[in-house]
Chains A and B, each alone.
Chain A
Amino acid sequence: MSELTLTVMRLGFLAVLWLFVIVAVQVIRSDLFGTRVTQRGSRREGARPQQGGRQGAAPPQQRQRRGAPTKLVVSEGTLTGTTVALQGQTITLGRAHDSTIVLDDDYASSRHARIYPDRDGQWIVEDLGSTNGTYLDRTRLTTPTPIPLGAPIRIGKTVIELRK
């Protein structure tokens, strides 16, 4: 067998071996890129210490505006007195166990409504197709609506409002 053929085969074999390694690594790229990373905030939100200086931990869109609400308070219903700090996260309300506020209320749907900040930090309430509807003041919601400070949001027997 000629020297040339053997040299070509030798290099070819190494190339094929490495090609296999590279293909195998390509297959496991999905370990890094085919995954979805969900951020979860810790439950100890109230304990955040005030840090000096402008470099607060909050990202720009979460920076508190003047006059923006800081907490959500349940003012009527079985959960009266419950407060949830508003830190830019979406709050879901309903009877489903994975809701942020689990309502023990026969008139609430399992996924009833959600409250979330829009891009400007304005808090919005949206009805999620509930059976009995969500009321802001006295009007039944049909579209996502900005929440004025202190306006009562009624879900079944529960009333919540946003406060500073």
Chain B
Amino acid sequence: MSAVTNTTTIGAIDAPSRRNTELMLLGFAVAIPVFAYLNVGLALDGEVPTGMLGYGLGLGLLAGIAHLLVRRFAKYSDPLLLPLATLLNGLGLVLIWRLDQSPRLIADSMRQYGSHAGDAPKQLMYSAIGVALFLLVLVFLKDHRVLQRYTYISMFVAIVLLLLPLVPGLGTDSFGAKIWIRIGPFSIQPGEFAKIVLAVFFAGYLMVKRDALALASRRFMGLYLPRGRDLGPILTIWALSLAILVFENDLGTSLLFFGMFVVLLYVATERTSWIVMGLLMAVGGAVVVGSFATHVQSRVAAWLDPFECLKTAPEGTNMAWACDQMTQVLMSFGSGGTIGTGLGQGNSDLIKFAVNSDFIFATVGEELGLAGAMAFILLYGLIVERGLRTALAARDPFGKLLATGLSGAFALQVFVVAGGVMGLIPLTGMTMPFLAYGGSSVIANWALIAILLRISDTARRPAPAPAPNPDAEMTQVVRP
């Protein structure tokens, strides 16, 4: 082994702010949804949709204001995050509007509620609130390191947010999963916000404790095993996530939080043993809970063989219903083929319930085909890549962990939803970030993007010029 190890330093040649790149991409990101909107209108009614100018201007205005404020308050932030989020949000609006127009869904809604109000205007309003929160975070959070002060407050807030849906009278049980709370006319999904708060707590906590968790360990079979008492944090989080699974019946949220903690633990300590242990604990917990929770059982049955389960499950039960959804979703993806049926020309509205929230990716898969679905996955992948790149570039350990935690949570959420819809893992009720209908999700994810932008701004901002060297003037001149 050579003792000379070449370490490398990677630095940017110069630090352009890249705001013009962002503006160009943003224009592009507004134009694509407008094109999609036109396409849906032409396919459904054979004419240019009347609201096209309004939606296009609305989206453009939101993006424009966001861009100007980013120029002002986060000059050196990442140029890709804002356009990517805008594009996904815009396309989500178009897809929701497209499903609003479906005659089947309208008839269904008329039969059930006697009226039909589209979800797209509401989603546009939520997006506007989301962008407003994005701007507020950018303007008022001048330095992400401020969040570090609130490490333990965040823990408390996160636990309260996670437990809120269990409070009688406040939480609402929606088709098995108790992850909503209802305040007046609004229903909120506190888990979406807990995701961000929890990332702050994990980052702050692990930054302080990582040395104890990384160094105090014994080596056993090539793995570094932590001491018994260092297992406390991971066991606590595990118990909490299992409690969510048992009491709120939500596999997705539980997986998201535990997964985010394990990812951060690995990043902070560089010990593979945490991942091995985390996976074992997650699988063990899920199997035990799955063996007695009927809600989870029906999801697993629908995942293993939806078509068989549809035949055998008793009519009218939860299981039959879950299997019916799953078969519809898989048929949707299947009829999309490689390049899809075209926007507005698919039959994904047959999924009926939650077609524009949990199952919106099925509409992408059917109407844009494999090519479109892959492009969407890549767009999500790019957001995650920019988040991780921000973590690499960040100069402070808290910023590194926070950026990793936020992008890790984002990635896990996309994986859990897309994997569930495509039949890779059992389906859980979560929303595709930005794409799916749901106020909490859109608003929370805009805030998440704002924090990432703030960290990347701090990371990419050129370091202040070094102070002039005081030694220079003190050199004495030799006088012969």
Chain A residues in the interface with B (C-beta under 8 A): 1, 5-7, 9-14, 16-18, 20-21, 23-25, 27-28, 30-31, 34-42, 44-45, 47-49, 51, 57, 87, 95-96, 106-110, 130-132
Contact = CB atoms under 8 A, between A and B. Distances in A.
Contacts of B35: 12-13, 16
Contact of A49 (B3, B36, B369, B372): B3
B3 A96 contact: no
Nearest to B476: A106
A52 B371 CA distance: 55
Given A24-B83, A24-B84, A28-B386, A42 B469 contact: no
A21 B42 contact: no
Given A10-B39, A16-B35, A40-B9, 13 more contacts: A1-B46, A9-B38, A16-B32, A17-B32, A17-B372, A18-B371, A24-B382, A28-B80, A37-B8, A40-B6, A48-B3, A106-B474, A107-B476
Interface stretch (B142-150, B234-242, B336-344): B336-344
Interface in B449-479: 469, 471-472, 474-478
Interface stretch (B21-29, B181-189, B198-206): B21-29
Interface stretch (B10-18, B164-172, B397-405): B10-18
Contacts of A27: 18, 21, 25, 79-80
B385 interface: yes
Q: How large is the interface on B (under 10, 10 to 19, 20 to 34, 35 or more residues)?
A: 35 or more
Interface string B45-67: 01000000000000000000000
Chain A interface helix/strand/loop/mixed: mixed
B475 A13 contact: no
B117 interface: no
A87 B79 CA distance: 42
B378 interface: yes
Nearest to B28: A20
Contacts of B371: 14, 18
B4 interface: yes
B112 interface: no
Nearest to B83: A24
B479 to A, nearest CB: 10
15 contacts: A13-B32, A13-B39, A13-B372, A16-B32, A16-B35, A18-B375, A20-B379, A21-B375, A23-B25, A27-B79, A35-B12, A37-B9, A40-B8, A44-B3, A95-B475
A4 B46 CA distance: 13
Contacts, number: 145
Contacts of A130: 475
Given A1-B43, A20-B87, A44 B382 contact: no
B174 interface: no
A101 to B, nearest CB: 14
Contacts of A6: 39, 42-43, 342, 345
A20 B80 CA distance: 11
A21 B18 CA distance: 18
Q: Identify which of A10, A18, A31, A109 gathers the most chain B CB atoms within 10 Å of its CB.
A: A10
Contacts of A108: 475
A121 to B, nearest CB: 18
A7 B342 contact: yes
Contact of B42 (A1, A24, A106, A107): A1
Contact of B36 (A13, A31, A87): A13
Nearest to A10: B342
B312 interface: no
B5 interface: yes
B295 interface: no
Nearest to A12: B35
A42 B5 CA distance: 6
Nearest to A56: B2
B80 A24 contact: yes
A48 B342 CA distance: 65
A110 B3 contact: no
B8 A110 contact: no
A9 B342 contact: yes
A132 B39 contact: no
